[in-house]
Amino acid sequence: MEKKGLTSFALKIIGFCAMILGSVPLVLGGEIFPYYRIFFRISAVLFAFVLTEGFYHTSSRIKYLVRLLIAGVVMYAGNHLVAYLTGNNLPLEYGMFLTLAAGFGAMWVFNWVREDGYSLESRMIGITAGAVLSILAMMFAESGFCVIPVVLIGFFFHGKKLWISLLLIAISAVLAFNSIAYTPSGAIDWNLFFTENCDWSIIGLLPFVLFYGGRSGPNRGFAKWFFYACYPLCVWTCAVVGMYFTR
């Protein structure tokens, strides 16, 4: 019997649409649409969740990781070039591929510990390596603080929607509490809460997890490669167009 619900490809499309909304400041400037980071966070965690599904279902983990690394290096170089040519540094905030590559690598290390770590010493080394990679990615990779926890939750609780949902709610609640800031008058700064301090918005992933059907959907040709091409092209095009809008 065919499973019902959203496919991984559908989640990619939704994530891409959210990413386009998150790219609005590249065209109009951050002051025009200050809430773009919320959409960008939702886009990031959608791709993080799809990554965990891809890890379990891909026919070649090596090729998957290599694609992410190559795309990450190309986008990193392209972002800096576009930022230099347009005088707009916002493209430097967009570099999801390397973060996803780090998350994929961490999953691979933890999976090795779970399946092939025969001795206690080798398992401890693997766990340490996976933890260090995860922490470094959270500290230094773009949106790593949001993406890596979702990747690890999706990996360790793969197929367990209830646990994934509960952990998402718990993490979002902690992030929301830590995101609260106050104005000089003592009131909560809601503008800051919904603009700069919006890591809590990863809760936006919850309905998509619940409606995910466990199927990959189309995964060849355009369906396989569109994200690798369209994501950087969208960012670069928005930055170039924005150069004329913000003059």
Q: Read out DSSP for 182-223?
A: B-TTSSB-HHHHHTTS-GGGGGGGHHHHHTEEEE----STHH
> What are the tokens at 128?
């340490």
pLDDT digits (tens, 9 = 90+) for 31-44: 666 788 888 889 99
pLDDT digits (tens, 9 = 90+) for 144-188: 888 999 999 999 999 999 999 999 999 999 999 998 988 888 899
**3-state secondary structure (DSSP) of residue 2:** coil
Mean pLDDT of all residues belonging to the chain: 87
**3-state secondary structure (DSSP) of residue 39:** helix
Q: Write b or e for each residue in 206-229: b if 16 or more Cβ atoms lie within 10 A of its Cβ, otherwise e.
A: bebbeebeebeeebeeebeeebbe
Phi-psi region of 159 (alpha: psi -120 to 50; beta: other; left: phi over 0): left
% of the chain exceeding 70 in pLDDT: 94
pLDDT at 191 over 90: no
pLDDT-based confidence at 1, cuts 50/70/90? very low
The C-alpha R_g of the chain, in whole angstroms, comes to 19
pLDDT at 32: 62
Model confidence pTM above 0.85:
yes
